[in-house]
Structure 1
């Protein structure tokens, strides 16, 4: 889901920006929180705007000052900048951390997060949340995190590096299984497919989410099975996972 903490920070920074520029804002309680003696010394430009300054520190004064100190040289708060632009500036400055929303700016995620929020079962919701965020611990991610002594190869084909895209979309050893799942989904929606977008739940009807869950959970859960896997076993696991999802959601 979206990083709510950073979105809140972006909202605070936008209001700070409005005050610096002397723009009117409906968030009037912010003035009490932010405009105290220490803050005016830190931000002398605020002494010139039209707002009265409080000597009283509110509960968010420290947080606001820390935000301003952290981002005043990184984000152009004195210029016209939208809330969305501030948010992307914040998340873009994280080291080695780019969110799924930033990677896919062309996609409107509101409906996607609404679908995820509507999943009743905590385990199912958390798993699909990880799938959308590409947060499952593949071989690639384990290497990136410095985990040693692991085999980063795909456990199905044992030929390719185990990335998210390879495991869930491209692995040739799973082609027949993907075809089976796609055909199962197309019985409900002729346009159903297993792709990068469908695994983000883009344009996926709510009634098709059990199929996405069944497919991704089967692929993920069976990758370390010691016994020989065949199409029949994958199909049986898929239908079991799909029906369990429907039962509890």
Structure 2
């Protein structure tokens, strides 16, 4: 469990070897491993989750740290809907726009992008799927959340810049942001670019071979043009 590059499970292991293990494992509390300095946000996240749900976790003699992790994740409340998070946005027009996409495959994918419903590794773990490596496959450092994958991942920064520059040829204010991926007040001619970008990032995370900027660009243009081909006179 603790071999290889740091994962959120290794972070949990390190956290339990830290000072806060005093409550559960006093014999390990003397270990002064500086986990919070080495693992940053992941360690903080695990600590906050543990403190929030520790009263609901049943500790048995043979329970493993991995099982404790899944107990913590299993206690998390269901997230609120995208409409509830963005009450100031009128979603009727957004859903109507997506419903007008001619090709069902493209429309269904964007239907998942808008409410952040694509099955990221974070969501797979939240749903109790075991054996999931939670790390982003692009950077191998951060937890793969929707926000990280499509907006924040540093390994995709050059690709995002390329797509932004491409989009700015249609709209000088084009930027990849949370609002953009909700398709808020978006020009119809920009939807192929958004589809091309999000589908490329999503699909290429499954590739086993080494990815570089050129391969991402080629995949992006292919997806964008396929979208345009099958959605003529619509989007």
TM-score by length of 1: 0.62
Cα separation, 2, equivalents of 1:57 and 1:161: 12
Alpha-carbon distance change, 85 to 31 in structure 1, aligned in 2, over 3 angstroms: closer
Task: Please give the per-residue CA displacement for 1:209-245, whole angstroms capped at 9, x wherever unaligned.
Answer: 0000000000000001111100000000000000000
Between 1:55-64 and 1:177-186, the stretch displaced more is: 55-64
- Which of structures 1 and 2 has the bigger CA Rg? 1
Alpha-carbon distance change, 127 to 181 in structure 1, aligned in 2, over 3 angstroms: same
Cα separation, 2, equivalents of 1:35 and 1:77: 16
Between 1:50-59 and 1:221-230, the stretch displaced more is: 50-59
SS at match of 1:48: coil
The unaligned stretches of length 5 or more in structure 1 are: 1-18
CA contact (8 A) 1:140 1:163 kept: yes
Between 1:222-231 and 1:74-83, the stretch displaced more is: 74-83
Alpha-carbon distance change, 119 to 71 in structure 1, aligned in 2, over 3 angstroms: farther
SS at match of 1:72: helix
* Equivalent residue, structure 2, for 1:77: 59
The unaligned stretches of length 5 or more in structure 2 are: none
Alpha-carbon distance change, 35 to 107 in structure 1, aligned in 2, over 3 angstroms: farther
Cα separation, 2, equivalents of 1:234 and 1:24: 26
* Equivalent residue, structure 1, for 2:41: 59
TM-score by length of 2: 0.65
CA RMSD of aligned residues (A): 18.1
Cα separation, 2, equivalents of 1:24 and 1:140: 16
Find runs of 4+ consecutive structure 1 residues off by over 6 angstroms: 19-95
Task: Please give the per-residue CA displacement for 1:176-208, whole angstroms capped at 9, x wherever unaligned.
Answer: 000000000000000101000000001210110
